[in-house]
Amino acid sequence: AQKITQTQPGMFVQEKEAVTLDCTYDTSDPSYGLFWYKQPSSGEMIFLIYQGSYDQQNATEGRYSLNFQKARKSANLVISASQLGDSAMYFCAMREVGFQKLVFGTGTRLLVSP
Amino acid sequence: GAVVSQHPSRVICKSGTSVKIECRSLDFQATTMFWYRQFPKQSLMLMATSNEGSKATYEQGVEKDKFLINHASLTLSTLTVTSAHPEDSSFYICSARALRDTDTQYFGPGTRLTVL
Protein backbone atom coordinates (compact mmCIF):
# COMPACT_ATOMS: atom_id res chain seq x y z
CA ALA A 1 0.00 0.00 0.00
CA GLN A 2 1.19 3.48 -0.84
CA LYS A 3 2.35 5.16 2.35
CA ILE A 4 2.75 8.64 0.93
CA THR A 5 0.46 9.98 -1.76
CA GLN A 6 0.99 13.15 -3.73
CA THR A 7 -1.91 13.45 -6.14
CA GLN A 8 -0.72 16.52 -8.03
CA PRO A 9 1.89 15.64 -10.67
CA GLY A 10 2.17 19.30 -11.59
CA MET A 11 1.09 22.67 -10.25
CA PHE A 12 1.25 26.15 -11.72
CA VAL A 13 1.26 29.37 -9.73
CA GLN A 14 1.93 32.99 -10.49
CA GLU A 15 4.73 34.80 -8.81
CA LYS A 16 3.76 36.28 -5.41
CA GLU A 17 0.74 34.02 -5.08
CA ALA A 18 0.42 31.27 -2.48
CA VAL A 19 0.26 27.62 -3.45
CA THR A 20 -0.64 24.43 -1.59
CA LEU A 21 0.96 21.10 -2.44
CA ASP A 22 -1.00 18.11 -1.23
CA CYS A 23 0.31 15.14 0.69
CA THR A 24 -1.58 12.34 2.41
CA TYR A 25 -0.02 9.51 4.32
CA ASP A 26 -0.92 6.14 5.72
CA THR A 27 0.40 4.72 8.94
CA SER A 28 -0.86 2.87 11.97
CA ASP A 29 2.06 4.06 14.05
CA PRO A 30 1.05 6.85 16.47
CA SER A 31 4.54 8.34 16.34
CA TYR A 32 5.99 9.49 13.04
CA GLY A 33 7.61 12.42 11.30
CA LEU A 34 6.65 14.17 8.10
CA PHE A 35 9.07 16.01 5.84
CA TRP A 36 9.04 18.14 2.73
CA TYR A 37 11.99 18.39 0.40
CA LYS A 38 12.59 20.53 -2.67
CA GLN A 39 14.54 19.17 -5.63
CA PRO A 40 15.57 21.77 -8.22
CA SER A 41 16.80 20.74 -11.65
CA SER A 42 20.33 20.43 -10.28
CA GLY A 43 19.17 17.33 -8.42
CA GLU A 44 20.05 18.14 -4.83
CA MET A 45 17.40 17.48 -2.20
CA ILE A 46 16.82 20.51 -0.01
CA PHE A 47 15.13 20.01 3.35
CA LEU A 48 12.28 22.47 3.81
CA ILE A 49 10.19 21.62 6.83
CA TYR A 50 9.46 18.93 9.42
CA GLN A 51 6.34 18.06 11.41
CA GLY A 52 6.28 15.53 14.23
CA SER A 53 3.07 13.62 14.83
CA TYR A 54 2.85 14.90 18.40
CA ASP A 55 3.57 18.50 17.56
CA GLN A 56 0.66 20.64 18.66
CA GLN A 57 1.27 23.43 16.22
CA ASN A 58 1.75 23.42 12.48
CA ALA A 59 5.37 23.78 11.49
CA THR A 60 6.52 26.96 9.79
CA GLU A 61 9.84 27.91 8.21
CA GLY A 62 9.90 31.29 6.56
CA ARG A 63 7.59 31.17 3.54
CA TYR A 64 6.88 27.48 4.09
CA SER A 65 4.22 26.17 6.39
CA LEU A 66 2.83 22.72 6.86
CA ASN A 67 -0.92 22.33 7.16
CA PHE A 68 -1.02 19.25 9.37
CA GLN A 69 -4.42 17.59 9.74
CA LYS A 70 -3.78 14.48 11.74
CA ALA A 71 -7.29 13.04 11.63
CA ARG A 72 -7.31 13.32 7.85
CA LYS A 73 -3.73 12.12 7.63
CA SER A 74 -2.71 15.02 5.49
CA ALA A 75 0.40 17.19 5.58
CA ASN A 76 0.05 19.79 2.88
CA LEU A 77 2.86 22.23 2.15
CA VAL A 78 1.90 25.87 1.76
CA ILE A 79 4.31 28.20 0.02
CA SER A 80 3.41 31.84 0.46
CA ALA A 81 4.48 34.62 -1.90
CA SER A 82 5.86 32.27 -4.56
CA GLN A 83 9.12 33.20 -6.24
CA LEU A 84 10.52 32.12 -9.60
CA GLY A 85 13.20 30.18 -7.73
CA ASP A 86 10.53 28.01 -6.15
CA SER A 87 10.09 26.18 -9.45
CA ALA A 88 11.20 22.62 -8.67
CA MET A 89 10.02 19.15 -7.72
CA TYR A 90 8.63 18.87 -4.23
CA PHE A 91 8.62 15.60 -2.32
CA CYS A 92 6.68 14.70 0.79
CA ALA A 93 8.19 11.99 2.97
CA MET A 94 7.41 10.12 6.17
CA ARG A 95 9.50 8.37 8.75
CA GLU A 96 7.85 6.02 11.22
CA VAL A 97 9.43 5.75 14.65
CA GLY A 98 11.43 2.56 14.86
CA PHE A 99 12.33 2.79 11.19
CA GLN A 100 15.28 4.81 10.09
CA LYS A 101 14.30 5.23 6.49
CA LEU A 102 12.20 7.86 4.78
CA VAL A 103 9.42 6.87 2.45
CA PHE A 104 8.88 9.36 -0.35
CA GLY A 105 5.86 10.32 -2.39
CA THR A 106 6.00 10.56 -6.16
CA GLY A 107 6.51 14.30 -6.09
CA THR A 108 4.82 17.40 -7.45
CA ARG A 109 6.44 19.61 -10.05
CA LEU A 110 5.79 23.28 -9.29
CA LEU A 111 6.18 25.92 -11.96
CA VAL A 112 6.12 29.55 -10.94
CA SER A 113 5.38 31.99 -13.74
CA PRO A 114 6.18 35.72 -13.80
CA GLY B 1 24.10 24.02 8.78
CA ALA B 2 24.34 20.36 7.95
CA VAL B 3 26.28 19.85 4.74
CA VAL B 4 26.65 16.58 2.88
CA SER B 5 28.98 16.28 -0.09
CA GLN B 6 29.17 13.65 -2.78
CA HIS B 7 31.99 12.87 -5.15
CA PRO B 8 32.06 12.66 -8.08
CA SER B 9 29.07 14.70 -9.23
CA ARG B 10 29.13 13.02 -12.63
CA VAL B 11 30.80 9.90 -13.89
CA ILE B 12 30.80 8.16 -17.24
CA CYS B 13 32.23 4.69 -17.41
CA LYS B 14 32.40 1.69 -19.69
CA SER B 15 30.24 -1.35 -19.15
CA GLY B 16 31.93 -3.87 -16.86
CA THR B 17 33.94 -1.38 -14.82
CA SER B 18 33.37 -0.49 -11.17
CA VAL B 19 32.56 2.97 -9.91
CA LYS B 20 32.96 4.30 -6.38
CA ILE B 21 30.86 7.17 -5.07
CA GLU B 22 31.75 8.92 -1.82
CA CYS B 23 29.33 10.56 0.58
CA ARG B 24 30.69 12.80 3.33
CA SER B 25 29.06 14.72 6.14
CA LEU B 26 31.18 17.86 6.34
CA ASP B 27 30.16 19.55 9.56
CA PHE B 28 28.49 16.85 11.59
CA GLN B 29 28.81 13.22 12.55
CA ALA B 30 26.34 10.89 10.93
CA THR B 31 25.12 7.83 12.76
CA THR B 32 23.38 6.59 9.68
CA MET B 33 23.75 7.19 5.97
CA PHE B 34 21.33 6.23 3.26
CA TRP B 35 21.79 5.55 -0.43
CA TYR B 36 19.02 6.28 -2.92
CA ARG B 37 18.62 5.86 -6.63
CA GLN B 38 16.43 8.08 -8.73
CA PHE B 39 15.45 7.39 -12.33
CA PRO B 40 14.33 10.30 -14.54
CA LYS B 41 11.02 11.82 -13.50
CA GLN B 42 10.62 9.35 -10.66
CA SER B 43 10.84 9.50 -6.92
CA LEU B 44 13.78 8.44 -4.78
CA MET B 45 14.11 4.74 -4.15
CA LEU B 46 16.01 3.70 -1.05
CA MET B 47 18.71 1.17 -1.86
CA ALA B 48 20.33 0.64 1.51
CA THR B 49 20.87 1.99 4.99
CA SER B 50 24.35 2.03 6.39
CA ASN B 51 25.36 2.42 10.01
CA GLU B 52 28.92 3.24 10.93
CA GLY B 53 30.93 0.15 11.73
CA SER B 54 28.31 -2.38 10.73
CA LYS B 55 27.00 -4.02 7.58
CA ALA B 56 24.55 -2.15 5.44
CA THR B 57 20.90 -3.13 5.33
CA TYR B 58 19.70 -3.49 1.76
CA GLU B 59 16.17 -2.98 0.52
CA GLN B 60 14.37 -5.83 -1.15
CA GLY B 61 15.48 -6.32 -4.72
CA VAL B 62 18.81 -4.52 -4.34
CA GLU B 63 21.79 -6.77 -5.04
CA LYS B 64 24.25 -6.39 -2.19
CA ASP B 65 27.07 -7.91 -4.20
CA LYS B 66 26.56 -5.40 -6.96
CA PHE B 67 26.13 -2.31 -4.80
CA LEU B 68 28.83 -2.48 -2.14
CA ILE B 69 28.45 -0.07 0.74
CA ASN B 70 31.12 0.79 3.26
CA HIS B 71 30.59 3.14 6.20
CA ALA B 72 34.02 3.27 7.73
CA SER B 73 33.63 6.42 9.80
CA LEU B 74 31.00 8.76 11.17
CA THR B 75 31.59 11.13 8.26
CA LEU B 76 32.12 8.87 5.26
CA SER B 77 30.14 6.25 3.40
CA THR B 78 30.98 4.84 -0.02
CA LEU B 79 28.86 3.11 -2.63
CA THR B 80 30.65 0.99 -5.20
CA VAL B 81 28.73 -0.10 -8.27
CA THR B 82 30.54 -3.24 -9.37
CA SER B 83 30.61 -4.41 -12.98
CA ALA B 84 28.35 -1.57 -14.02
CA HIS B 85 25.95 -2.02 -16.92
CA PRO B 86 23.90 0.53 -18.87
CA GLU B 87 20.81 -0.26 -16.78
CA ASP B 88 22.72 0.98 -13.72
CA SER B 89 22.79 4.46 -15.23
CA SER B 90 20.91 6.65 -12.80
CA PHE B 91 21.14 9.48 -10.30
CA TYR B 92 22.55 8.22 -7.00
CA ILE B 93 22.00 10.36 -3.95
CA CYS B 94 23.05 9.86 -0.37
CA SER B 95 21.72 11.29 2.83
CA ALA B 96 22.88 11.39 6.42
CA ARG B 97 21.23 11.62 9.79
CA ALA B 98 23.09 13.74 12.31
CA LEU B 99 23.93 12.47 15.76
CA ARG B 100 22.63 15.73 17.15
CA ASP B 101 19.40 15.73 15.18
CA THR B 102 17.99 12.33 14.45
CA ASP B 103 14.76 13.64 12.96
CA THR B 104 16.15 15.06 9.75
CA GLN B 105 18.04 13.57 6.84
CA TYR B 106 20.37 15.88 4.96
CA PHE B 107 21.05 15.02 1.34
CA GLY B 108 24.13 15.21 -0.79
CA PRO B 109 24.02 16.85 -4.22
CA GLY B 110 23.86 13.50 -6.00
CA THR B 111 25.99 11.67 -8.55
CA ARG B 112 24.90 11.16 -12.14
CA LEU B 113 26.22 7.82 -13.36
CA THR B 114 26.21 7.00 -17.05
CA VAL B 115 27.36 3.56 -18.13
CA LEU B 116 28.16 3.22 -21.81
Which residues of chain B approach chain A closer than 8 Å at the C-beta?
Answer: 32, 34, 38, 42-44, 46, 49, 91, 93, 95, 97, 103-110, 112
Which pLDDT band holds residue A1 (cuts at 50, 70, 90)? low
pLDDT band (50, 70, 90) for residue A25: very high
User: B15: distance to nearest CA of chain A, Å?
Assistant: 24
Given CB atoms, is A36 within the 8 Å cutoff of chain B?
A: no
Convert chain A into a string of H (helix), E (strand) and C (coil): CCCEECCCCEEEEECCCCEEECCEECCCCCCEEEEEEEECCCCCCEEEEEEECCCCCCCEECCEEEEEECCCCEEEEEECCCCHHHCEEEEEEEEECCCCCCEECCCEEEEEEC
In total, the C-beta contacts within 8 angstroms joining chain A to chain B are 48
Share of chain A above pLDDT 90, in %: 87
The yes-or-no verdict on residue A95 having pLDDT over 60 is yes
**Is B105's CB within 8 Å of A35's CB?**
yes
Average pLDDT, chain B: 91
